[in-house]
Amino acid sequence: SSIRCSIGFIFVDHGYVSNDSFEQELTIRRSVNPLQCWIDCDSIEADGSDARRGIKIESISVQSFKRRFPEAEVSSFGEEKSASYKDDDSVNIAEYYEIIDEVKEVGLTDLGEMEEINEGVEYSATRTLKKSKIMRYLLSGAEVLKESRFPGKYIPIVPVYGEEAWIDGKRQLYSLIRKSKDAQKMY
């Protein structure tokens, strides 16, 4: 997708190694449709490591939706009003990731008493600590279907850019063929 339409995405997830184990492993999956993924528009790092939020949309059948979420109202993410759905219709659900910062002022005594710190020398007694966590929300068009904490410190949606250029302070993304189109039209 990064060659054809200037951007693609890779998803990082985790799962259990086997059905009878608590050991987990990372999995890497590709995005089939890059138009159903978005990351923070303020992200400028090539790997998206500075992104603060991201979302990916998945289309599933109504029958599958009812099986996975029996208590939830069938509603497609992104629609303004609820429609009546048949079992062979499809609905969109969204997986939304967000980094939430917890800021805490801690004193020297909160970090643990230090024995003889250099007698007679004064130290700053407080410090600001920032701890981040990634929250994952599974959303329908009407409600939050599931909420959990994602392990790690980065949004697990990794952009794969085509050619990148910065023109007048704005990022421009190009596919492999974008600059060849004008020459082909002239021909």
Section 102-130 average pLDDT = 66
Q: In the predicted model, is pLDDT for residue 121 greater than 70? A: no
Confidence (pLDDT) at 125: 72
The one-letter amino acid at 14: H
Backbone angles phi, psi at 69, to 5 degrees: -130, 70
Confidence (pLDDT) at 39: 92
DSSP per-residue letters across 16-71:
ESSTT---EEEEEEE-S-GGGEEE-TT--STT-TT-SEEEEEEEEEHHHHHHH-TT
Determine which of 1-15, 89-103, 107-121, 128-142 has the lowest per-residue pLDDT on average.
107-121
- Average per-residue pLDDT for the chain: 83
Q: In the predicted model, is pLDDT for residue 115 greater than 60? A: no
Q: Which of 98, 62, 54, 94 is nearest to 78 (CA)?
A: 94
Q: In the predicted model, is pLDDT for residue 86 greater than 80? A: no
Model confidence at 87, in pLDDT bands (50, 70, 90)? low
Q: Which of 35, 38, 80, 41 is nearest to 59 (CA)?
A: 35
| Cα 167 to Cα 120, 164, 170, 184, 185, distances in angstroms | 56, 10, 5, 24, 24
Determine which of 54-63, 119-128, 166-175 has the lowest per-residue pLDDT on average.
119-128
Q: In the predicted model, is pLDDT for residue 114 greater than 60? A: no
Section 58-79 average pLDDT = 88
Residue 91 vs residue 181, higher pLDDT: 91
The one-letter amino acid at 26: L
Contact 32, 176 (CB under 8 A): no
Confidence (pLDDT) at 117: 52
Q: In the predicted model, is pLDDT for residue 148 greater than 80? A: yes
Residue 168 vs residue 122, higher pLDDT: 168
The residue count of the chain comes to 187
Q: In the predicted model, is pLDDT for residue 180 greater than 90? A: no
- Own/partner contacts of 103-112, CB < 8 Å, gap of 24 or more, are 103/128, 103/129, 103/130, 104/128, 104/129, 104/130, 104/131, 105/129
> What residues contact 89, with CB distance under 8 A and at least 6 apart?
61, 62
